[in-house]
Chain A
Amino acid sequence: MKVRYPLFQIIDKDGNLTNQKYEDKLTGDKAKLLYYHMTRIRTYDQKGVALQRQGRIGTYVPFAGQEASQVGSALALADDDWMFPTYRDHGASLTFGADLDRMLLHWNGRMEGCLPSRKKNILPASIPIATHLPHAAGAAMAETYKGTNNAAIAYFGDGATSEGDFHEGLNIASVFKAPVVFFNQNNGFAISLPVERQMNSETIVQKSEAYGIQGVRVDGMDVFAVHIAVQEALERARNGEGPTLIEAVTIRFGAHTTADDPSKYRDQEKINRMRDEVDPILRLERFMTMNGMWDEEWVKQINAVIKDEINTAIEAMESYKKPDVAIMFDHVFEKPTWTIEQQRQNLLRVGGRK
């Protein structure tokens, strides 16, 4: 299957071009755009881990190692496309246009943090594994129904392919040729379970064959390859050619969440040692350096802008008005039922907790 679905790559880990066909797409501007977004979400991710350690937010889900997969895919979307992320894809959400302050509120346990983006169709992260894949199929079907040219993308991990909803989502999308991209990040682990024990298939991408849809296996540490593979899949979707299953082969550098200890189940030291060699951001840096696109001044400048943006968002998160207990009652229905209304009044009378 690995022969049937060779890993699509454009630059290798040393930054060398390995696929001439796309050479003219690798412009300096494109490289800078991708580099900027990967750096931005990595800075945010490091901050997230630190905030959790300091007790300023709750359990946090780091995505370090997966920046090329998340940025490359998110930047391939058009403004009116739909994004269905998981809890690990906040890097992709932020890149597509999710609001940083709301994202942080979400990690801070605030219901306001689930408010969708102010600009884009980005759903709140799906926590029950694979349950959002049929939603992406349906949102895409609705676009076809309405006669638009818009598409949808669903993000999910290797573990998700074991759930029924993965298969049901792919099947229904394939039957109706829904304009949707199923974007899998195969980071090798579902919490402690290595992908080899998750499934007996050699690859995830081969599951596309069962549903008669296109499948692409891509180097998930190569931001150009991911970007172009998703662009091509979206193009097919918009042309009425139906869904694509993309398997982006990547690595989760750190813990599953800040509550997880990966040394319990894998050689974390080994992963720490190989990080620099396989790092997707360093790979792009190497490519940019070799091709005269690296500009030290510019890097300094964007780092300052990013730091500023993130610090401002943290301040906004921390100075956000105190949670209002009424919010949990007010949005269950358009008009609260009498039981909810009664419970709400009772709680407000008692005054909630002290």
Chain B
Amino acid sequence: MVMSKELAESRSAVKTNSLTVIQAINNGLNVMLGKDKHTLILGEDVGKNGGVFRATDGLQEKFGENRVVDTPLSEAGFVGAAVGMAFNGLRPIVEIQFLGFIYPAFEQIATHVTRTRTRTLGHYNLQMVIRAPYGSGVRSPEIHSDSVEAFFAHMPGIKVVCPSNAYDAKGLLIAAIEDPDPVLFLEPMRLYRGKREDVPEAKYSVELGKGKLVEQGDDVTVLAWGAMMPVALTATEQMRQHGITCDVIDLRTLYPLDKDIISESVQKTGRVVIVHEGHETGGVGSEIISIINNTSFLYLRAPMERVTGFDVPVPLFALENDYLPTPERVSQAIRKVVNF
């Protein structure tokens, strides 16, 4: 990965801490509330309770009840209020408790969050972030496990971001907060308390709209993001032992997609496997296929494969690991494109 000068410096000179994804998010919020008095956090149970996952732990104590606001149980209410705040110069960071509970606010997002800049010809921009834990695999109750990034990637006017590790989580979150346009920031619940990483203590950002090549290979391009990254990497590690090597790309931003990193890799390997946990039909994978069709069609050596969640409501947790893509399914797809 090419690091910006600032980033490289922050990595070598500045103090780092070993953090989990959830701690890195907490840290990113902490840094931004400290830097910019126009930012504030809104959501259910974010204040005294520090969030149901503790993403905002300690922040109300530090910044006060005006900056970290426990709202009524009203997603349309507080997302709508955030729109009004953003009209009026604030930079709200909204927490939706689980992505599956964003639906009451769908109206606000589809008709206002995403359209305000356009319908005021740029007079008003909404500098706001909507954070939401998403995904299956942690034995949550019904509706808590949805992975519906595609709804939002489809909506013109909002960027969609999804980190897969602690370093990116903090850097992308800060970039999202500083972005002049609305950003939906999806947090993989399944990775919240997984692997720790060295995360710089200071402010840094990871550019939106840029994927990252996390593993290099020659035979297949494997594209994933969020909670599917470890699944993809387990599969490619298994394949390596069979002599098949893969480029593994963490897309990190789902709208706008990093078409250059995708096409560069595909033009090298000629084979593609896309892994996502959202439903297959109309998933972000379809859009990636379309990009490859436009940029790299003549380089393809096999039909592209998708390994995704199924076209069914996410099942209760006894079957969640059957719903979710597994390393076995990913390996199969890799074999299929190689053996075509």
Are A343's CB and B139's CB within 8 A? no
Residues of A within 8 A of B326 (CB): 353
Q: Given contacts A58-B317, A128-B101, A192-B70, is CB(A347)–CB(B48) below 8 Å?
A: no
Pick the interface stretch among B140-148, B236-244, B290-298: B140-148
Closest A residue to B316 by beta carbon equals A109
Are B322's CB and A325's CB within 8 A? yes
In the assembled complex, 8 residue pairs joining A and B whose CB atoms fall closer than 8 Å, in A order, are: A109-B317, A164-B76, A265-B45, A328-B315, A328-B322, A332-B312, A339-B311, A350-B329
For the complex formed, measure the closest distance between the CB of B198 and the CB atoms of chain A, giving whole angstroms.
Answer: 29
For the complex formed, measure the closest distance between the CB of A348 and the CB atoms of chain B, giving whole angstroms.
Answer: 10
Residue among A113, A164, A337 making CB contact with B311, cutoff 8 Å: A337
A172: interface (CB < 8 Å)? no
Within 8 A of B (CB), among A50-95: 58-59, 87
CA distance A326 to B52 in the complex (A): 33
For the complex formed, measure the closest distance between the CB of B98 and the CB atoms of chain A, giving whole angstroms.
Answer: 10
A191: interface (CB < 8 Å)? yes
CA distance A191 to B142 in the complex (A): 17
Are A328's CB and B310's CB within 8 A? yes
Are A354's CB and B45's CB within 8 A? no
> 1/0 per position for A333-354, CB-CB distance to B under 8 A?
0000101100110010010111
CA distance A106 to B313 in the complex (A): 16
Pick the interface stretch among A12-20, A155-163, A234-242, A297-305: A155-163
Residues of A within 8 A of B49 (CB): 191-192, 264-265
Interface residues on A, range: 35 or more
- Chain B interface residues toward A at CB < 8 A: 44-45, 47-50, 52, 70, 72-77, 100-101, 103-104, 139-144, 280-281, 310-313, 315-323, 326, 328-329, 332
Q: A323-B318, A328-B312, A350-B328 are in contact. List 20 more A-B contacts (CB 8 A).
A: A58-B140, A58-B141, A59-B139, A109-B320, A111-B315, A111-B316, A111-B319, A128-B100, A159-B72, A162-B72, A162-B73, A163-B76, A164-B104, A193-B45, A193-B70, A265-B45, A328-B323, A339-B280, A340-B311, A343-B311
- Chain A interface residues toward B at CB < 8 A: 58-59, 87, 106, 108-111, 113-114, 127-129, 159-160, 162-165, 190-193, 197-199, 259-260, 264-265, 323, 325, 327-329, 332, 337, 339-340, 343-344, 347, 350, 352-354
Closest A residue to B318 by beta carbon equals A109
Are B319's CB and A325's CB within 8 A? yes
Closest B residue to A125 by beta carbon equals B142
Are A343's CB and B310's CB within 8 A? yes
Residues of B within 8 A of A339 (CB): 280-281, 311
Are A191's CB and B52's CB within 8 A? yes
- Kindly name the residue among B73, B143, B328 whose own CB sees the greatest number of chain A CB atoms within 10 A: B73
Residues of A within 8 A of B313 (CB): 328, 332
Residue among B52, B141, B310, B332 making CB contact with A127, cutoff 8 Å: B141
Residues of B within 8 A of A325 (CB): 319, 322
Are B101's CB and A159's CB within 8 A? no
Residue among A87, A199, A354 making CB contact with B328, cutoff 8 Å: A354
Q: Given contacts A87-B141, A164-B104, A328-B319, is CB(A264)–CB(B48) below 8 Å?
A: yes
CA distance A27 to B144 in the complex (A): 45
CA distance A344 to B73 in the complex (A): 38
Q: Given contacts A59-B140, A109-B316, A340-B312, is CB(A163)–CB(B332) below 8 Å?
A: no
For the complex formed, measure the closest distance between the CB of B326 and the CB atoms of chain A, giving whole angstroms.
Answer: 5
Are A113's CB and B316's CB within 8 A? yes
CA distance A260 to B44 in the complex (A): 14
Residue among A127, A190, A329 making CB contact with B312, cutoff 8 Å: A329
For the complex formed, measure the closest distance between the CB of A102 and the CB atoms of chain B, giving whole angstroms.
Answer: 12
CA distance A327 to B316 in the complex (A): 11
For the complex formed, measure the closest distance between the CB of B71 and the CB atoms of chain A, giving whole angstroms.
Answer: 8
Are A347's CB and B310's CB within 8 A? yes
For the complex formed, measure the closest distance between the CB of B65 and the CB atoms of chain A, giving whole angstroms.
Answer: 10
Residue among A109, A159, A344 making CB contact with B139, cutoff 8 Å: A109
Closest A residue to B320 by beta carbon equals A109
Are B76's CB and A352's CB within 8 A? no
- Kindly name the residue among B44, B47, B322, B332 whose own CB sees the greatest number of chain A CB atoms within 10 A: B322
CA distance A159 to B103 in the complex (A): 17
Residue among B72, B100, B281, B329 making CB contact with A193, cutoff 8 Å: B72
Closest 4 CB pairs of A and B: A109-B317, A192-B49, A162-B72, A159-B73
Residue among B52, B104, B281 making CB contact with A165, cutoff 8 Å: B104
Closest A residue to B51 by beta carbon equals A192
Residues of B within 8 A of A328 (CB): 310, 312-313, 315, 319, 322-323
